């Protein structure tokens, strides 16, 4: 697989609700990694406007993109992710606040995507 194919695959993976990227051989699943993500982290969540009866012919998309924001200081970028391949990420903002999320599957996926990106 060359870089273009991998980028295309990653783009397709990003678009799926349950991303499980393939583990690059350079990433040891038994080692805890620390990855700094400079850009904002986005996630796809159910669109609350899409639930319930539509009020008009306009149907909102069933999902929406939400940007991860520190609930303590409001940071949206400069995240540090710590964790292993296949385990939930521990996400902290530049000020060191740990972001809580009960969505374990998303935390696993965001760690894998960060590791794949860092391994390039
Ligand atoms: Zn913070």
Distance from residue 113's CA to the centre of ligand 1 (Å): 22
Q: Is residue 55 part of a domain?
A: no
Distance from residue 41's CA to the centre of ligand 1 (Å): 14
**Total domains, the chain:** 1
State which residues form the domain around 82. Answer: 3-23+31-46+60-118
Q: Is residue 54 part of a domain?
A: no
Q: Is residue 53 part of a domain?
A: no
List the 79-83 sheet strands across, edge first.
Answer: 33-37, 79-83, 90-92
Q: Is residue 51 part of a domain?
A: no
Q: Is residue 98 part of a domain?
A: yes
Report pLDDT for 50.
77
Report pLDDT for 17.
46
pTM beyond 0.75: the answer is: no
Distance from residue 81's CA to the centre of ligand 1 (Å): 13
Report pLDDT for 59.
76
Cβ neighbours of 92 (radius 10 Å): 17
Report pLDDT for 48.
80
Distance from residue 9's CA to the centre of ligand 1 (Å): 32
List the chain residues with pLDDT less than 50: 16-17
Residue for token digits 């303590």?
A: 72
CA 73 to chain centre: 20
């Amino acid at each position: 697989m060359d870089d273009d194919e991998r980028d295309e695959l990653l783009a397709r993976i990003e678009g799926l609700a349950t991303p499980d990227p393939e583990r690059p051989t350079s990433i040891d699943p038994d080692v805890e990694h620390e990855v700094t993500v400079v850009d904002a982290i986005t996630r796809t969540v159910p669109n609350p406007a899409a639930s319930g009866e539509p009020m008009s012919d306009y149907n909102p998309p069933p999902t929406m993109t939400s940007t991860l924001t520190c609930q303590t200081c409001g940071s949206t970028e400069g995240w540090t992710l710590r964790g292993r391949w296949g385990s939930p990420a521990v996400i902290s903002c530049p000020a060191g606040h740990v972001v809580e999320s009960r969505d374990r599957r998303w935390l696993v996926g965001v760690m894998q995507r960060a590791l794949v990106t860092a391994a390039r």
